[in-house]
Amino acid sequence: MDKILIRGGNPLKGSVQVRGAKNSALPLMAAALLAEETCVLHNVPCLHDVFTMDKILSEMGMAIDFTGRTMTMDPKGVSSHEAPYELVRKMRASFFVLGPLLGRFSKAKVSLPGGCAIGTRPVDIHLKGLESLGVKIRIEDGYVVAEGRPQGANIALDFPSVGATENLMCAASKAQGVTRLTNVAREPEIVDLANFLNGMGAQISGAGTDLITILGVDSLGGTEHVVIPDRIEAGTLLIAGVATHGDVTVLNADADHLPVFLDKLRDMGAEVEVHGSRIRAAAKNGLKAVDVSTQVYPGFPTDLQAQIMALACVAEGASIIKENVFENRFMQVAELTRMGAVIDVDGNSAVVRGVPKLSGAPVMASDLRASAALVIAGLAATSGETSITRVYHIDRGYERIEERLASLGADIRRVRDGQ
């Protein structure tokens, strides 16, 4: 197994490209199951989660060519409507094939998911929504077995779940009749999926608002689409720059997708500038504490909570960080503490008391975003070496993170464990 070694203290400087959004690419790939012709996706990130989805779809009979960052998906040979446990357990997003399979075959058998260990993460909202579309659902030996052609319906989600909104949009695209979904997720990835499906011939309106209306169609064709930039990766790279008192510009980003986050960086004393698709963040002076409360979009993203906590560790004063989207998403805390951070957790709230310096330590990655927080803390540490084990968590969502941070001046490298 690989590990990442970091000697912190170098201010990161320069510019770096943001890749396509993992959380868009995965549902878009799954949605290609609905097409009857070839779909082409550009700006697809080279990530483990993308390879996992590639494998799931390939096993169903999808012919996939992934060259550079372009993925060509020919669904003509898709014959299986089953997603097995061995693949689904690796990644919760595998569950996103459920809606597309129902739209395509009117039946699906998908293992209940695994994924990041951040709380229980049930799928009740997905299943309840599909049942409201008239689909018969039963759980059998750890699998969701679903049958029936979706029928248009009016559905109010109990919570604006991103994945449930995506599964329902896909299933309803080929439903008989009109579906109206309310209390839906409004994330940019939802809008990207709607644009992709509409490119295939779907009739979806309202994505990005609280009400999505879908007029079901009988067939969907091929399309070509560019995946939106990864707002979480952009945010992570900007925080890394600020945490090292550096000056980092992310290219090919979309500042409109990071509204509250960029304001929080400013509140902490960072200089933030946006020019078209470039976002620059620099920190010359000391950083100030900040209060952050995660919310569904357009609120502060839960996927940047761990990273901003790492930044708060080196800011002056006490920051209060509240996690409202997931239970048990403070897995970075114990490891940050080993690097000298002072953090008290009480339920879903953490009080972070900034310290003048962090020091490097051996730490273990526990989930994707917690791992990113450890990388940031390692870069900010002004003494010692940080070694991060279990970096496969990082590779799920960040493409060659060490190479890209090294290009900004970080002293960071990947070695085989035992070296």
Residue that is written with structure tokens 């030996």 in the block: 141
Residue 286: alpha-carbon gap to chain centroid: 30
Distance, CA of 305 to CA of 325 (rounded, Å): 10
Q: How far apart are CB 238 and ligand UD1 at their closest, in Å?
A: 18
Of 286, 343, 283, 302, the closest CA to residue 319 belongs to: 343
In the chain the first and final C-alpha atoms are separated, in Å, by 11
Distance, CA of 356 to CA of 349 (rounded, Å): 22
For residue 223, give the DSSP letter.
Answer: E
Q: Is 154 exposed, middle or buried (0-12, 13-18, 19+ CB in 10 A)?
A: exposed
Residue that is written with structure tokens 């035992």 in the block: 418
Distance, CA of 333 to CA of 314 (rounded, Å): 14
Assess whether the previous peptide bond of 75 is cis (omega < 30° from 0): no
Helices (H), 246-346: 259-267, 305-312, 332-338
Determine the residue type at 349: S
Q: How far apart are CB 325 and ligand UD1 at their closest, in Å?
A: 5
Q: Three-state DSSP class for 243?
A: helix
Choice among 39, 46, 116, 170 that is catalytic: 116
Please answer whether residues 28 and 93 qualify as being in contact, where contact means their C-beta atoms are separated by less than 8 angstroms: no
> In this structure, what token pair is assigned to residue 206?
């309202």
Residues 6+ apart with CB under 8 A from 151: 133, 134, 175, 176, 177
The total of other beta-carbon atoms located within 10 Å of residue 304's CB is: 26
Q: How far apart are CB 121 and ligand UD1 at their closest, in Å?
A: 4
Q: How far apart are CB 167 and ligand UD1 at their closest, in Å?
A: 9
Nearer to ligand UD1, 10 or 23 (CB): 23
Nearer to ligand UD1, 166 or 335 (CB): 166
Q: How far apart are CB 123 and ligand UD1 at their closest, in Å?
A: 4
Per the annotation, the verdict on 116 as an active-site residue is: yes
The residue of the chain with the least Cβ separation from ligand UD1 equals: 163
Residues that bind ligand UD1 (CB under 6 A): 23, 26, 92-93, 119, 121-126, 159, 161-164, 302-303, 325-326
Q: How far apart are CB 161 and ligand UD1 at their closest, in Å?
A: 3
Determine the residue type at 334: A
> In this structure, what token pair is assigned to residue 318?
């006490």
Q: Three-state DSSP class for 183?
A: coil
Q: How far apart are CB 270 and ligand UD1 at their closest, in Å?
A: 23
For residue 112, give the DSSP letter.
Answer: P
Distance, CA of 19 to CA of 400 (rounded, Å): 11
Q: How far apart are CB 93 and ligand UD1 at their closest, in Å?
A: 4
Residues identified as active-site = 116
